[in-house]
Structure formats: structure tokens, C-alpha cells
Amino acid sequence: MTLKDSLKELEIKEKINLKREVKKELTKIKKEKKYKCIICMEESDYYLKGTNDYYCKKCALEHFSNLGHLKKIRR
């Protein structure tokens, strides 16, 4: 029996839609992925252009004195 057959059997036996289950899990993971401020570890709204440095608004303002260098994270 191939993996595909096994999965099919599982779907029938357990009355679940595997594709839907997988999708659901992936959505959950995506939602949970948060960008954390590199200074205070709070959820961040901005990042430094061309880097993976994330900052919350408060730290960004403290660090750069303005938000001109920063890009807003698109969610």
C-alpha cells in the first residue's frame, strides 16, 4: 500500500479531510509567527530596510529618533 492509499483510508475511516486539516494547521502557524522587536522582544511593527532587524515603534523611535529608515511590516 502506498502512502497515498494509507492517507485515503485514514480519511475514510476517520471521516476527516486531510487537505483541510493541513491547511488549517498551516494557517495557524502563519498567524502565530510574529516579528519580535530585537530590543524589547515585544511584537514589532517596523523593520530596518534590508535587514532582519525588527523594532516596535517605541524602540524604533528611541533608537533612530524617527521612523524614516524603517519599513512598516505588512501583515
Contact residues: Zn ion, CB under 5 A: 37, 39-40, 42, 56, 59
The C-alpha atoms of residue 63 and residue 51 are separated, in whole angstroms, by 15
Q: Of all helices (H) and strands (E), which one includes residue 35?
A: none
Cβ 30 to Zn ion shortest distance, Å: 23
Please give the C-alpha separations between residue 42 and each of 6, 8, 20, 33, 67, in angstroms, as whole numbers.
43, 43, 32, 13, 17
Q: Which is nearer to Zn ion, 11 or 64 (CB)?
A: 64
Cβ 14 to Zn ion shortest distance, Å: 45
Cβ 11 to Zn ion shortest distance, Å: 45
Q: Which is nearer to Zn ion, 56 or 70 (CB)?
A: 56
